[in-house]
């Protein structure tokens, strides 16, 4: 059984996946990405969007971003 934080993250991911902007959501192994000034991990994608997760000020965030805004980066970049 996970911690409360793990359960909150899981619930946030599930909600985001249900609200996907399009069909055919494909889950992927987390990959480091940068969106504007935020560095996080891509965890899923559709034809037009990427689901990105990150921690900001100690708070977990997850959001769909237009794929053209998401750039893959090397680990730690």
Picking from 65, 40, 69, the residue whose alpha carbon sits closest to that of residue 54 is 40
> What residue ranges do the domains of the chain occupy?
4-72
41-61, pLDDT tens digit by residue? 999 999 999 999 999 888 899
17-38, pLDDT tens digit by residue? 888 887 778 888 999 999 999 9
In degrees to the nearest 10, what's the CA dihedral of 49, 54, 59, 64?
A: 0
């Amino acid at each position: 059984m996970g911690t409360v934080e793990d359960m909150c993250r899981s619930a946030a991911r599930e909600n985001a996946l249900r609200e996907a902007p399009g069909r055919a959501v494909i889950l992927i192994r987390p990959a480091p990405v940068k969106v504007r000034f935020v560095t996080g991990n891509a965890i899923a994608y559709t034809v037009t969007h990427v689901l990105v997760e990150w921690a900001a000020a100690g708070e977990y965030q997850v959001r769909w971003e237009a794929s053209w805004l998401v750039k893959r980066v090397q680990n730690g970049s």
